[in-house]
């Protein structure tokens, strides 16, 4: 396990069970605790390791050696609800889409125990096995690097291309075009808060339920703001500062209670700021840089909900605004931004536990391929994604999406969305997909809403004896 991530014995126990595919109820029964207690532990675990889903938590357990495989049992049922064959789900970590396909397969996926098949059943299941092999090979191809495209694609290549075409998907558009809004994920829904619409700066709050694929209107944020970000801690969404309708930033700090659908006010920021980067780590908020109404700043502040107070932290190495911040494995990655004149390629890691010490809490990482500010940034399955944004130049179709692998310290670009993603969009991870919403494009403010399949799940049969 990463030394910067400290989990209690109980949290480690629960994380291992999550990696086996156990539900909250199953974990509660096994550990003789209540399902609500399991939920509380899971929220703490997700915050500490920077995960937003059970899939990411399971992959973290696999990557850090807590488990040697990730398996989630799925029981198929007929139309009457009777259980059928048992299956095992193997989740493949997200990678950029290769432009071409490779011959041959080196990686292996879990295989069914063919000895469990009675001979009379084998011929009935053989076509299914062939299809599974094709899908497995296709998925493996997606995990490989670029190579030369064969002149005559095989059936396996066509199957992989079919998977490729499905990675981008249209979703229910925003009720109104919007940019500069805050976003957060909780359970099986994501939230869009504030921002700017064609009617001006708004306090409108929306929730998108994945189960019913529709937008719901929530209680308005008391102070309408744009150029703002949000962070989730427990069952509260924290939204500090932002730019008001008069064009100036505010120091007001408001929080949304998910259970009560209510807003309340917390102690104000030390200074008025908008266009900052924000991340939650270990139950605290960290705010980096921003614009104070006169200039771009390098200040850093930490907010502790337990003391309800802001504290200054070691400033950034340079002034920047409209950058991205994501928490991953006990640290915060700071990505791009603008110095007020040009977009930046700067990428740094912030170690909160090193702050207030003699050594700097910042470490440089591989720079972005090109300067980029006001982009959507997030993390899923242990990888960082950057969509949209503003560069020195705007190529046709917009800037390409990027993926960063913290282990190899490498950035990779991949296929653009069918619709151009501009600056100040929202980028939200939920389950296996990344949801891209709104933003400012060459054609104007957008109500755009598409999702990108970042993680694939392949289902292979594990036949009972």
**148 and 293 in a common domain:** no
Helix or strand or coil: residue 269? Answer: coil
User: Is the pTM here over 0.95, yes or no?
Assistant: no
From first CA to last CA, the distance across the chain in angstroms is: 36
Q: Under a CB-based contact definition with an 8 Å cutoff, are residues 302 and 310 in contact? A: yes
pLDDT value of residue 150: 36
**202 and 267 in a common domain:** yes
Q: Under a CB-based contact definition with an 8 Å cutoff, are residues 417 and 388 in contact? A: no
Is 315 domain-assigned? yes
**172 and 162 in a common domain:** no
**308 and 216 in a common domain:** yes
3-state per-residue secondary structure call for 360-414:
CCEEECCCCCCCCECCEEEEECCEEEEECCECCCCCCCCCCCEEEECCCCEEEEC
Q: Mean pLDDT of successive 10-residue segments in the chain (465 residues)? A: 72 89 84 86 89 84 76 35 35 40 32 37 46 48 38 42 67 96 94 97 96 94 98 96 97 97 97 98 97 97 96 96 96 97 97 86 96 96 94 79 95 89 94 93 89 74 49
- CATH of residue 335's domain is 2.120.10.80
Is 59 domain-assigned? yes
- CATH of residue 52's domain is 1.10.10.10
**158 and 211 in a common domain:** no
**326 and 272 in a common domain:** yes
Task: Write down which residue in 113, 148, 166 finishes a domain.
Answer: 166
pLDDT value of residue 423: 94
pLDDT value of residue 63: 83
**107 and 59 in a common domain:** no
Strand order in the sheet with 277-281: 277-281, 284-291, 296-304, 309-313
**245 and 128 in a common domain:** no
pLDDT value of residue 93: 44
Q: Give the domain range for residue 211.
A: 168-454
**250 and 172 in a common domain:** yes
**206 and 141 in a common domain:** no
> What's the total number of domains in the chain?
3
């Amino acid at each position: 396990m990463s030394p910067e991530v400290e989990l209690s014995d109980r949290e480690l126990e629960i994380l291992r069970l999550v990696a086996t595919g156990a539900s909250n109820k199953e974990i509660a029964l096994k550990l003789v605790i209540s399902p609500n207690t399991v939920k509380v532990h899971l929220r703490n675990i997700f915050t500490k390791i920077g995960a937003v889903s059970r899939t990411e938590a399971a992959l973290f357990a696999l990557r850090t050696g807590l488990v040697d495989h990730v398996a989630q049992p799925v029981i198929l049922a007929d139309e009457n609800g009777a259980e059928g064959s048992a299956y095992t789900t193997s989740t493949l970590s997200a990678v950029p889409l290769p432009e071409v396909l490779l011959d041959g397969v080196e990686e292996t996926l879990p295989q069914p125990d063919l000895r469990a098949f009675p001979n009379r059943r084998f011929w009935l299941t053989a076509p299914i096995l062939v299809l599974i092999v094709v899908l497995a090979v296709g998925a493996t191809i997606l995990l490989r690097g670029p190579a030369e495209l064969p002149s005559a694609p095989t059936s396996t290549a066509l199957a992989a291309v079919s998977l490729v075409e499905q990675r981008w998907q249209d979703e229910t558009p925003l009720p109104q075009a919007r940019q500069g809004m805050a976003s957060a994920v909780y359970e099986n829904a994501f939230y869009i808060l504030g921002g700017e619409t064609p009617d001006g700066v708004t306090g409108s709050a929306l929730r998108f339920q994945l189960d019913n694929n529709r937008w719901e209107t929530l209680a308005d944020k008391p102070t309408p703001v744009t150029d703002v970000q949000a962070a989730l801690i427990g069952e509260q969404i924290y939204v500090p500062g932002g730019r008001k309708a008069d064009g100036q930033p505010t120091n007001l700090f408001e929080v949304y209670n998910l259970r009560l659908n209510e807003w309340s006010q917390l102690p104000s920021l030390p200074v008025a700021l908008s266009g900052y980067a924000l991340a939650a780590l270990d139950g605290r908020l960290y705010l980096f840089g921003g614009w104070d109404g006169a200039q771009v700043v390098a200040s850093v502040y930490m907010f502790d909900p337990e003391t309800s107070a802001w504290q200054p932290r070691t400033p950034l190495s340079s002034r920047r605004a409209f950058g991205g911040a994501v928490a991953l494995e006990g640290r915060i990655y700071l990505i791009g931004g603008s110095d007020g004149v040009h977009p930046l390629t700067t990428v740094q890691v912030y170690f909160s536990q090193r702050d207030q010490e003699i050594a700097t809490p910042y470490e440089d990482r591989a720079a972005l391929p090109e300067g980029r500010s006001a982009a959507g940034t997030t993390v899923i399955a242990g990888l960082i994604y950057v969509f949209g944004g503003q560069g020195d130049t705007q190529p046709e179709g917009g800037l390409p999406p990027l993926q960063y692998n913290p282990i190899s310290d490498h950035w990779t670009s991949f296929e653009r969305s069918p619709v151009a993603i501009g600056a100040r969009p929202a980028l939200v991870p939920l389950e296996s997909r990344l949801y891209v919403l709104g933003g400012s494009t060459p054609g104007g403010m957008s109500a755009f809403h598409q999702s990108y399949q970042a993680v694939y799940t392949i289902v292979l049969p594990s036949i009972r004896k």
